Structure 1
Amino acid sequence: MRKIIVLLTVLLAFQSAKAQLFTKEKVANNIDNLDQRFLSWGYFLGFNQYDFKFNYNEDLNDILVDDDIFGFHLGLIGDMRINDHLNLRLEPGVFFTTRNLRYNESYFAGTEFNDSDLLREVKSTYIHIPLLLKISTKRINNFKPFIIGGVSTALNLSSNEDNPDDNSAGQFRMKKNTYFYELGFGIDLYLLYFKFTPSIRAIFAINDELVRDADPNSPWTGNIANMQTRGVFINFTFQ
């Protein structure tokens, strides 16, 4: 499912660019003055797919994360023009996602367990605030490709960090604050009345996000040396 949506996003942008590059007819430039504004505003919405990267203390079977669950996000854009090719952007948003962690039975060797112990559903609601540098090519007719990257922080409203219960009571806990670096690409499409931008971005957490169980030998957290979020965003931006 994720590959299909990514492919459709890329094809949409490619078809628009191809039509304008290879047409023999002169294409009228839409909203010529938009990119000359020092400050501009917009909003975005899209889909996300979050994952975890694990590092382990011992060589046991990997903890698997379901890769077929998509979340949803939306937010606002503040854009500051530096020059014709550089823009500084602030994109605060709200992100909703779910990750299912599946443990192998080897983590529970020598203990009694049931099927529910092998699964942890991790629901997260993030207030995500990135500061990004957008590097664009020269505008060609009504489209302009770009790459974008930067750093971000996120507040996990569903972290359970302060919950006294841990996995022994069915509560998987994460830290509230996470820090990321981000990298992506997209194409600005200049329509008649607004600019529409499909883009794809990858994020990678910098800090360890796991809150460990009280028992240092906990089957759920005892073997995890480090747990960091990574994810893919598919954004549709309107300015």
Structure 2
Amino acid sequence: MFKKLFISVSLLFISYSASAQRERVENLPNFDKPLIHYGFYLGLNTNGFKVSYKPSSFANANVEVTSEVGFNVGLIGDLKLHKNVNVRFEPGLISNTKTLRFTHTANDGEAIREVGNTYLHLPIIFKFSTDRLNNIRPYVLGGASFDYNFSSNESNQNDNFSGQFRQNASNFMYEVGIGVDFYLPYFKFSPSIRGIFAITNELKPDNRGPSQWTDPIDFMGTRGVFLHLSFE
């Protein structure tokens, strides 16, 4: 869904930009001159988990992860380092819901956990842009973030034996992406597609064992795709 929406939005603005180029109209000609500028973003995401396993007393361990569409929203602070390189601070919120099915559990009634996550997302992003071509400017980006999960249940004493799936609240992630700047008459619009990947293990083990939910898991970390729409 995100890719189709991104392609549709991109084609719309590419068509607009192409028309403007034929007329040789350059919007916001001084936009990139200031050292610092600000903006905001919003978008959609679909986040799952990458799960790897370790030897345990549970045979054929497997966790199936399905996710619903979530949203992301935040602010932008942009510092120009070079005419083609910017560093950006993009604090915001990421919210989504995932369903985990533990296919190796003995009791089907205990096999499903619904995990709702709301992250405070604090990324530092490096943006590498081409030279501007009239009203468009493609770019690639990459960076790392600190993410705090408000709904991790890390401090909850109840664990999966009480029906409560827990995660570590503080995590580090990295993200990469591609996008295009569109210089419109009154603002710059920048759609991008981004991938986000956890560096640290988000799983908090159960208090006691053997735990069919956490013992077989060696690493569980967020993997997601964002449709990111920036307005500057």
TM-score class, shorter-chain normalisation, is over 0.9
TM-score, normalization: structure 2? Answer: 0.93
Paired letter, 2:166: R
Written as runs of structure 1 = structure 2, the 5 A alignment for 1:24-173 is: 25-58=22-55, 60-67=60-67, 69-104=68-103, 106-108=104-106, 113-115=107-109, 117-173=110-166
- Matched residue of 2:32: which SS? helix
Q: Distance in 1 between matches of 2:21 and 2:142?
A: 35
Task: Answer yes or no: is the 8 Å Cα contact 2:61–2:216 preserved in 1.
Answer: no
Shift of 1:212: 0.6
Q: Structure 1's 24 and 86: CA in aligned 2 closer, same or farther, altered over 3 A?
A: closer
1:96 alignment partner AA: S
| Structure-1-length-normalised TM-score | 0.91
Q: Quote the Cα distance in structure 2 between the aligned partners of 1:187 and 1:215.
A: 50
* Equivalent residue pairs, number: 229
The match for 2:204 among 182, 199, 211 is 211
Structure with the higher fraction of residues in strand conformation = 2
Does the CA-based 8 Å contact 2:20-2:26 persist in structure 1?
no
Structure 2 runs not aligned, ≥5 long: none
Distance between the aligned counterparts of 2:62 and 2:133, measured in 1? 47
**Tell me, what secondary structure is at the counterpart of 2:97?**
strand
Fraction of identical pairs, as percent: 39
CA contact (8 A) 1:20 1:27 kept: no
The separation in 2 between residues aligned to 1:228 and 1:31, in whole angstroms, is: 41
Secondary structure of the structure 2 residue equivalent to 1:17: helix
Q: Where does the alignment leave 5 or more consecutive residues of structure 1 unmatched? A: none
